[in-house]
Chain A
Amino acid sequence: MERIYADRKYIIIGFFLLIGLFFLARLFYVQIMVDKYILSANNNVLRYVTQYPARGLVFDRNEKLLVYNEAAYDLMVIPRQVKNPDTMALCHLIGIDKAEYINRLQKARSYSPYRPSIFEAQITRDSYGFLEEKLFLFPGFYVQSRTLRKYTYPVAPHTFGYIGEAGPDIIENNDYYRPGDYIGISGIEKSYEEILRGKKGMKIRVYDVLNRDKGSFREGKYDTASMAGTNLYSSLDVELQQYGELLMTNKKGSIVAIEPQTGELLCVVSSPSYDPNLLAGNIRRKNYTLLLQDTIFMPLFNRALMAMYPPGSTFKLVDALVGQQEGVLTPETRYGCPGGFPLGNGKKVGCHPHPSPLDLIGAIQISCNSYFCRVFKSIIDKKTFSTTRQAYENWRKEVMSFGFGKRLGIDIPGELNGNIPTPTYYDKYHGVNRWRSMTIISLGIGQGEIGITPIQLANLAALISNKGWYYSPHIIRAIGRKDSLNTAYSTKHHTLVDTRYFDIVVEGMADVVTGGTGRIAQIDSVVVCGKTGTAQNPHGKNHSIFIAFAPKENPKIAISVVCENAGMGAAWAAPIASLMIEKYLKRQVKRKDLEDRMINGNLINGKLPENERGQGNFLPD
């Protein structure tokens, strides 16, 4: 009888309950103890779609729109959904051949058959119009909008810079950027990246097992909106910039103009230049390579910030200021000029014929080499210093207070230091204690190892017009609102030269234009103060340099112009600077003949006629 086995029911029920409890324990573990399953569930169905904000706009100082965004379209493909398309028609629409079509589709498929890949990037709005009408014919293809940087005026590419996809090193080191995000790579796009970029938003979409979009997650409750980037108000005067680039046609060199009271850059011209639109969108890679390969003109090279020149005679202004500050020079100091400054070994620093002896104003006006060699010698040989080295170090410190030999800290990336040689350099070159004032006398006329960038030259003009101080030059005057000034540039920098020593130098600069080496820079009813310079260039013809500011009282513009291999300062740089000043102060230029001659002057390709070089009877400087 099985009755004797009746107790076995407890074992059987016990077994059932044991298994049941085991399941409950397992459920407790899987559902409550561990988190990985809920994360996996979210990864399965949720896709985080980035909402790209519109990048900030850039305006010029007169609120003209300079940089904006234009809609562009990426043609996307989901390989699995592609079904018997009219391949030829699609190829025709986006301008590729069939082999390329197959190649791209294969690439997309190897990335993922289910997820979208970019098939053709940054289609312009015009091409998109055609494509959109026909898109229904091509299942598996769709269009995703993007924005493309556009430039209203084809000028100032070095200043604006460009944007591109963030590289792997950036993505790795910065949490904000994800593959495919854009980032400013040069120019103000780079230096103001965090302001311009705005804030990305996120949309959460739900996808099913076949990767089909099933709408937004919880009616968009967890979506975040993107915030458009902040607009920038540039100090650039785009008309002046355009005019400057026009004047520099077929010339190598640069023009930098500054509003002296504020340090705001009015124009930054680096020539040869290019249209910034060339580096926007999907044509960037190709064009960048072309520009990079142009090793003759080097259009990508921002001469205004990165080219170093010996300042030539423009540096005599610094001699005049430092000499007075050091007490070795007064406005009444006179030196005779026997046609040059003898170096003691039979050689001399040459000078051109002029009345002699001259006082300080006259020496600036005529740009006497002998005079400033003596001034420089008297600074370095000053009795209060026991060694040349000490005197030189003191001189160097004062010169560097003018913003030379170091970065000015402007808001366009790439600025170089320039070079005011260290005493150590001379120790190495000549030997310790084996150099004297006469050894380095060429510094006194702005030649030799000294290197100054065009923006530092413009800053020199600005600080002289301010009589001893400057704000660091900058291109962005306000952020967000027109009156919300850029606080990064509110520090006044003072030179080590007292204000009272500047007046005589300003007078000298005025005389340069009224009756000296820079007469060609004269403008009706405006008192222009300027100084010519001719930088000796071991590689070829001298560089033509001119710095100026105007008007003399309450100056509005300080400017430097450098024309490479163009000869004397008065030949090209001075007239160009003068035209720029006229353009800025009067908004139109009356001297059409001079303007035409400057625009048409070809210093790169064309041979300059002999007679043209001598035109205008310049006094040499």
Chain B
Amino acid sequence: MREDKGIFYRIDWVVVGLYLALVFIGWLNIYAAVYNDTHNHIADLSQKYGKQMIFILAAILLALGILIIDPKFFSQFAWFIYGFFLFMLVVVIFSGRIVAGSKGWFAIGGFGIQPAEFAKMATVLALAKYLGTLDVSLARLRSIVVAGTIIMVPAIIVLLQHDTGSAIVFFALVIVLYRAGLTGFVPLAFIVLPILGVLALVVPKLILVAVLLIGAGAFYLYSNRKLRTIFLIIAIFLGSVGFVFSVDFSVNRILEPHQRNRIHVLLGQVIDLKGAGYNVNQSLIAIGSGRIFGKGFLQGTQTKYNFVPEQSTDFIFCTVGEEWGFVGSSVLVLIYLSLFTRLIFLAERQRSRFSRFYGYGVASILFFHFAINIGMTLGLVPVIGIPLPFVSYGGSSMWAFTIMLFIFIRQDSYRYELV
């Protein structure tokens, strides 16, 4: 086989190439987003683009480090790593500092480290480890509960840090569970329930209930009409109706005011261009004014004159949209889609169950960030502050995503040895 060859002959250069492309695009756009006439060198360390360059260099060093670690290490120490980061998540609640309302940061020198970013990687490791165990079958309730717990524990701790965005990301791992054999109803529910929730807020409830009733009737007519199926249809129907009526309560009582505002703004029920709707409106103005080819590098007026808040981090996609236009934005979207499909392809060729599920986990987490982040800048998803992987400014996310990705690249490079 290829064990005699060096690591550089074994790693998947397609993924590495896509990774480097994203990192480079991110760096250029951070430069444009926070461009400062008096410090216009892209490596000026007093500016965010200079710092991002350091983050990138450090991330590459981390990647190289991971590539020389024994690939068996990650599956063997998966539980330990998971445990370690759960511990860190708890510690940060008590000793961390508050950034943007979230209490999830360790201050180390001038930088902040956000354990939640690393916890995603650790959770993927643990989940893959568990699902890779031979006697686990997600057809059994016990396995579902264990897998669910692995995902929910870090999510709940992160939620306690008031970092709702990062907490939601963990739900992306349902894709891994689905691939591992979980019934399709669960991921379907993840897609259908948000849609039903939006409809519940927009459409009169009685109409919605009538539509659900018709749907249930249709299912019954096309079903095998066994008692079990009928019960299932009735249960789903009643559950849906209950959900519809609980949405108002959830939105008004459970969500925090700023989250509630973001939902109302997204649904167009509140037009508040100076308050909750400001970010999204300015974001759409930036992207929309880019037209086909964009305004050109460093020529975006929305970007240059700071109309979009958080533009180097969560709203970095605006800069791409404004300065590179439809062409540039589409290229970025296509790079991501290529990365995700490549990761799925690589995952499928793994012989080790651990490696395969880990690959799915990486793809799911990255995809979820991509979908929420770009959906948010395009005004399709409520404002949820999570970074665009490899592109947004920030050390923690850059390092955590890099480590997560390169662990998989490392696994893939030894796919013949790992069983």
Q: Are B285 and A27 in contact (CB under 8 A)?
A: no
> Please, how many angstroms separate the alpha-carbon atoms of A45 and B341 in the complex?
40
Q: Are A27 and B341 in contact (CB under 8 A)?
A: no
Interface string of A549-567 (1 = CB under 8 A from B): 0000000000000000000
> Please, how many angstroms separate the alpha-carbon atoms of A41 and B325 in the complex?
14
Minimum CB–CB distance from B275 to chain A (whole Å) comes to 15
Minimum CB–CB distance from A42 to chain B (whole Å) comes to 8
Minimum CB–CB distance from B239 to chain A (whole Å) comes to 23
Minimum CB–CB distance from A40 to chain B (whole Å) comes to 4
Q: Are A8 and B178 in contact (CB under 8 A)?
A: yes
Q: Are B378 and A20 in contact (CB under 8 A)?
A: no
- The reply to whether the CB of A48 lies closer than 8 angstroms to some CB of chain B is no
Contacts of A28 in B (CB 8 A): 326
Q: Are A24 and B330 in contact (CB under 8 A)?
A: yes
- The reply to whether the CB of A99 lies closer than 8 angstroms to some CB of chain B is no
Q: Are B341 and A17 in contact (CB under 8 A)?
A: yes
Q: Are A2 and B374 in contact (CB under 8 A)?
A: no
Q: Which residue from A2, A31, A40, A44 sits with its C-beta under 8 Å from B321? A: A31
Q: Are B326 and A32 in contact (CB under 8 A)?
A: yes
Q: Are B288 and A9 in contact (CB under 8 A)?
A: no
Contacts of A32 in B (CB 8 A): 291-292, 326
Q: Which residue from B180, B281, B289, B340 sits with its C-beta under 8 Å from A16? A: B340
Counting chain A CB atoms within 10 Å of each CB, the highest count among B178, B289, B290 belongs to: B289
Give the contacts of B44-72 with A (CB-CB under 8 A). none
Contacts of A12 in B (CB 8 A): 175, 178-179, 344, 360
Q: Which residue from A8, A37, A214 sits with its C-beta under 8 Å from B288? A: A37
> Please, how many angstroms separate the alpha-carbon atoms of A507 and B330 in the complex?
97
Q: Are A6 and B341 in contact (CB under 8 A)?
A: no
Q: Which residue from B282, B284, B333, B348 sits with its C-beta under 8 Å from A23? A: B333
Q: Are A19 and B371 in contact (CB under 8 A)?
A: yes
Q: Which residue from B292, B341, B378 sits with its C-beta under 8 Å from A13? A: B341
Chain A residue nearest to B286 (CB atoms) is A41
Q: Are A38 and B288 in contact (CB under 8 A)?
A: yes
Chain B residue nearest to A40 (CB atoms) is B285
Contacts of B307 in A (CB 8 A): 44-45, 209
Q: Which residue from B289, B340, B353 sits with its C-beta under 8 Å from A37? A: B289
Minimum CB–CB distance from B305 to chain A (whole Å) comes to 4
- The reply to whether the CB of A335 lies closer than 8 angstroms to some CB of chain B is no
Give the contacts of A25-74 with B (CB-CB under 8 A). 26-28, 30-32, 34, 36-38, 40-42, 44-46
Minimum CB–CB distance from B340 to chain A (whole Å) comes to 5
Minimum CB–CB distance from A206 to chain B (whole Å) comes to 7
- The reply to whether the CB of A86 lies closer than 8 angstroms to some CB of chain B is no
Contacts of A20 in B (CB 8 A): 333-334, 336-337
A32-B291, A37-B287, A41-B302 in contact; A5/B175 too (CB < 8 A)? no
Contacts of B288 in A (CB 8 A): 30-31, 34, 36-38, 40-41
Q: Which residue from B175, B180, B334 sits with its C-beta under 8 Å from A2? A: B180
Q: Are B178 and A27 in contact (CB under 8 A)?
A: no
A8-B179, A27-B330 in contact; A41/B305 too (CB < 8 A)? no
Q: What's the A-B contact tally at a CB cutoff of 8 Å?
A: 117
- The reply to whether the CB of B153 lies closer than 8 angstroms to some CB of chain A is no
Q: Are A5 and B284 in contact (CB under 8 A)?
A: no
Interface string of B279-323 (1 = CB under 8 A from A): 001101111111110000000011011110000000000000110
Q: Are A23 and B375 in contact (CB under 8 A)?
A: yes
Counting chain B CB atoms within 10 Å of each CB, the highest count among A5, A20, A45 belongs to: A20
Minimum CB–CB distance from A558 to chain B (whole Å) comes to 66
Contacts of A36 in B (CB 8 A): 288
Contacts of B367 in A (CB 8 A): 16, 19
Q: Are B179 and A2 in contact (CB under 8 A)?
A: yes
> Please, how many angstroms separate the alpha-carbon atoms of A16 and B282 in the complex?
27
Q: Are A31 and B340 in contact (CB under 8 A)?
A: no
Chain B interface mostly: helix
A12-B179, A16-B340, A44-B285 in contact; A30/B301 too (CB < 8 A)? no
Q: Are A31 and B181 in contact (CB under 8 A)?
A: no
Q: Which residue from A6, A38, A41, A46 sits with its C-beta under 8 Å from B348? A: A6
Q: Are A44 and B302 in contact (CB under 8 A)?
A: yes
- The reply to whether the CB of A208 lies closer than 8 angstroms to some CB of chain B is yes
Q: Are B287 and A31 in contact (CB under 8 A)?
A: yes
Q: Are A16 and B341 in contact (CB under 8 A)?
A: yes
- The reply to whether the CB of B329 lies closer than 8 angstroms to some CB of chain A is yes
- The reply to whether the CB of B107 lies closer than 8 angstroms to some CB of chain A is no
- The reply to whether the CB of B380 lies closer than 8 angstroms to some CB of chain A is yes
- The reply to whether the CB of A153 lies closer than 8 angstroms to some CB of chain B is no
Q: Are B306 and A209 in contact (CB under 8 A)?
A: yes
Q: Are A208 and B306 in contact (CB under 8 A)?
A: yes
> Please, how many angstroms separate the alpha-carbon atoms of A44 and B301 in the complex?
9
Q: Are B378 and A26 in contact (CB under 8 A)?
A: yes
Give the contacts of B155-192 with A (CB-CB under 8 A). 175, 178-181
Q: Are A38 and B289 in contact (CB under 8 A)?
A: yes
- The reply to whether the CB of A435 lies closer than 8 angstroms to some CB of chain B is no
Contacts of B285 in A (CB 8 A): 37, 40-41, 44
Minimum CB–CB distance from B328 to chain A (whole Å) comes to 10
Contacts of B322 in A (CB 8 A): 41
Q: Are A209 and B378 in contact (CB under 8 A)?
A: no
Chain B residue nearest to A212 (CB atoms) is B305
> Please, how many angstroms separate the alpha-carbon atoms of A237 and B344 in the complex?
95
- The reply to whether the CB of A142 lies closer than 8 angstroms to some CB of chain B is no
Chain B residue nearest to A16 (CB atoms) is B340
Contacts of B329 in A (CB 8 A): 27, 31
Chain A residue nearest to B273 (CB atoms) is A40
Minimum CB–CB distance from B69 to chain A (whole Å) comes to 27
> Please, how many angstroms separate the alpha-carbon atoms of A208 and B300 in the complex?
12
Contacts of A114 in B (CB 8 A): none
Minimum CB–CB distance from B144 to chain A (whole Å) comes to 14
Contacts of B330 in A (CB 8 A): 24, 27
Q: Are B289 and A5 in contact (CB under 8 A)?
A: no
Minimum CB–CB distance from A208 to chain B (whole Å) comes to 4
Q: Are A30 and B305 in contact (CB under 8 A)?
A: no
Minimum CB–CB distance from A36 to chain B (whole Å) comes to 7
Contacts of A618 in B (CB 8 A): none
Interface string of B344-373 (1 = CB under 8 A from A): 100110000100000010010001000100
> Please, how many angstroms separate the alpha-carbon atoms of A16 and B341 in the complex?
8
- The reply to whether the CB of A138 lies closer than 8 angstroms to some CB of chain B is no
- The reply to whether the CB of A207 lies closer than 8 angstroms to some CB of chain B is yes
Contacts of B175 in A (CB 8 A): 12
Q: Are B287 and A30 in contact (CB under 8 A)?
A: yes
Contacts of B179 in A (CB 8 A): 2, 5, 8-9, 12
Counting chain A CB atoms within 10 Å of each CB, the highest count among B181, B302, B305, B380 belongs to: B305
A8-B179, A9-B179, A41-B285 in contact; A31/B305 too (CB < 8 A)? no
> Please, how many angstroms separate the alpha-carbon atoms of A42 and B337 in the complex?
33
> Please, how many angstroms separate the alpha-carbon atoms of A268 and B93 in the complex?
89
Interface string of B374-399 (1 = CB under 8 A from A): 11001010000000000000000000
> Please, how many angstroms separate the alpha-carbon atoms of A34 and B287 in the complex?
11
- Beyond A16-B363, A27-B326, A207-B305, 16 additional contacts (C-beta under 8 Å) are A2-B180, A2-B181, A2-B353, A9-B344, A16-B340, A20-B333, A20-B337, A22-B380, A23-B375, A30-B321, A31-B325, A31-B326, A32-B291, A40-B285, A44-B282, A209-B305
**5 interchain residue pairs of minimum CB distance:** A37-B288, A41-B289, A208-B305, A38-B289, A45-B301
26 contacts between A and B (CB under 8 A): A2-B179, A2-B181, A5-B179, A8-B178, A9-B179, A9-B344, A9-B347, A9-B348, A13-B341, A16-B337, A20-B337, A22-B380, A30-B288, A31-B287, A31-B288, A31-B290, A31-B325, A36-B288, A38-B288, A40-B285, A40-B288, A44-B307, A45-B301, A45-B307, A46-B301, A206-B301
Instruction: Report which B residues bind A (CB closer than 8 A).
Output: 175, 178-181, 281-282, 284-292, 301-302, 304-307, 321-322, 325-326, 329-330, 333-334, 336-337, 340-341, 344, 347-348, 353, 360, 363, 367, 371, 374-375, 378, 380
Instruction: Report which A residues bind B (CB closer than 8 A).
Output: 2, 4-6, 8-9, 12-13, 16-17, 19-20, 22-24, 26-28, 30-32, 34, 36-38, 40-42, 44-46, 206-210, 214
